[in-house]
Copies of this chain bind each other. A is one copy, B any other.
């Protein structure tokens, strides 16, 4: 987020409310958080803050493009303030940790083999794998292969 949150909100004709500003600050400090985590952080700062306001604001801010939503399998929706650069994500299959990785190109950075007549505007990429921490845990504890 390169400009002040207040200015960003003004540019989108959104009121500068305490909850909204606290949410943006919380999300800037804790990227890839879900609504419950954001609520916890905001609630520590504003005791009267409600979960409903968090959901309302997340929906509004995503709609405006101020906040980005991602939805990895196995997790609730996650949010981040890093927007506009078409970056991608890496998610650990073991600990569910989420990390950013820059994109090579502008959106859409890829084209489908068959676009089915779609006008494509974005290629959302999630890389799945195992993070260094979980690789170390896995090796030191021996393999726990799920039989299937």
**Chain B residue at minimum C-beta to C-beta distance from A73:** B71
6 A–B contacts, CB within 8 A, in A order: A13-B147, A102-B114, A117-B132, A118-B130, A122-B127, A124-B128
> What residues of chain A have their CB less than 8 Å away from a CB belonging to chain B?
12-13, 63-65, 69-73, 77, 88, 90, 92-93, 99, 101-104, 108, 110, 112-132, 135, 146-148
Q: Kindly state the separation between the CA atoms of A7 and B93 in the bound complex, as whole angstroms.
A: 28
Report the copy number of this chain in the oligomer: 2
Given A71-B71, A71-B73, A113-B104, CB of A90 within 8 Å of CB of B148: no
| Cβ–Cβ contact B125 & A125, under 8 A | yes
A131 and B116 contact, Cβ closer than 8 Å, known pairs A63-B146, A123-B125, A148-B12: yes
A103 and B92 within 8 A (CB): no
B131 touching A127, Cβ below 8 Å: no
If A102-B113, A120-B127 are given as contacts, then 10 extra A-B residue pairs at C-beta distance below 8 Å, sorted by A number, are A71-B73, A90-B118, A110-B125, A117-B135, A118-B131, A118-B132, A119-B135, A120-B128, A124-B125, A124-B126
Contacts of A12 in B (CB 8 A): 148
Please name all residues of chain B whose beta carbon is closer than 8 Å to the beta carbon of A115 when the two chains form the complex. 90, 101, 127, 129
